[in-house]
Amino acid sequence: MKLLRGLAVLVVLVLLVGCGGGKTRPGKASSSSTTRSSSSGGSSGSSSGGFRDDISKSQSSRYRDSDDSVPSGPPPDLSKLVEPTPKNEPRSLYGNKSPYSVLGRTYSVLPSASGYVERGIASFYGNKFHGFKTSNLEDYDMYKFSAAHKTLPIPSYARVTNLENGKSVVVRINDRGPFHENRIIDLSYAAAVKIGVWPKGTGLVEVRALVPGEPDLPPPPPAPSVVAGTPKPGIFLQVGAFSDNANAERVAQQLRAANLAPVQVIDAQIGGRAVRRVRLGPISDVDSADQITTQIETMGLPRPQVAVD
């Protein structure tokens, strides 16, 4: 696949251990998961595995492996892994700088996790980052239920549900990422195994923040392959939301002329203002959504946003 706060006596600590989150196959995780940085001007001390994570190094030299991967053996016995229990924790000293910028894009950390719910594409990360520092300087452990997110406060908790099979897991957010445009969360290897994002590499998910004292709503229903009559979630790309109808139709016509996926122009309300959303979809799979996103950007149109409905 996605920070600092001041200790006057420490050198400024830059943010992020993020990840690109491309498709991952058994035995090898995404080679695009390289957008991870967390530097303090020196070594951070011992990490698991008997090595020192020198977070002052560049991304090309910081990690032991050039590509991400997953354990070569069978997946862990999930029956022995315990999901984290949401609890009130102070914001981490590191990992919550807001706004922050990665790869030319700027992100703002949410003031609170309360009320956050979003659907989109999940990816995961594994061996390459195992034992190295997360954005809040904890050691990343791919055998714990954790995750990286671009805007939720660190630490916070969320229930992640695979919309295609109904499986869910509670994760603790302690990292920033994924900074692949079409991903909303990067799961630890264990979390990905539990809900079936591994070994496929990506999955359509709902991410719902969990806040102590607030009810944990039941996970959404699974796809029709599990429960008959449940609408199958689909991938859509929103190319823009326009207050001017002529602008919306102009963009829609450009997309149709390029013979892309079915184009929809939908009336919507944003902040009490009437807009027309231009969307493509449903798109058959994540790889196709990534390819179409690249094609749209080369056309000079607004960068599309993924929606899973």
Mean pLDDT (the chain) is 82
Q: pLDDT (tens digit, 9 = 90+) per residue, 258-280?
A: 999 899 999 998 888 999 999 99
The CATH number of residue 297's host domain is 3.30.70.1070
The CATH number of residue 137's host domain is 2.40.40.10
Share of the chain above pLDDT 70, in %: 79
Residue 2, domain member (yes or no): no
Looking at 210, 243, 276, which one is the last position of a domain?
210
Contact indicator for 130, 120 with CB cutoff of 8 Å: no
Reply yes or no on whether the pLDDT at 94 is more than 50: yes
Nearest Cα to Cα of residue 95 among 63, 128, 53, 133: 133
Same domain for 182 and 125, yes or no, is yes
pLDDT of residue 79: 82
Contact indicator for 252, 263 with CB cutoff of 8 Å: yes
Reply yes or no on whether the pLDDT at 228 is more than 60: no
Reply yes or no on whether the pLDDT at 246 is more than 70: yes
pLDDT of residue 243: 92
Same domain for 50 and 156, yes or no, is yes
Cα angle at 254 between 253 and 259, to 5 degrees? 95
Q: pLDDT (tens digit, 9 = 90+) per residue, 162-214?
A: 999 999 999 999 999 998 889 999 999 999 999 999 989 999 999 999 999 99
Domain range for 69: 43-210
Same domain for 257 and 135, yes or no, is no
Residue 28, domain member (yes or no): no
Higher pLDDT, 277 or 31: 277
Cα–Cα distance between 145 and 201 in angstroms, integer?
A: 16
Same domain for 274 and 131, yes or no, is no
Q: pLDDT (tens digit, 9 = 90+) per residue, 43-76?
A: 455 555 556 777 777 666 777 776 777 777 776 7
User: What's the total number of domains in the chain?
Assistant: 2
DSSP H stretches of helix in 128-240:
189-195
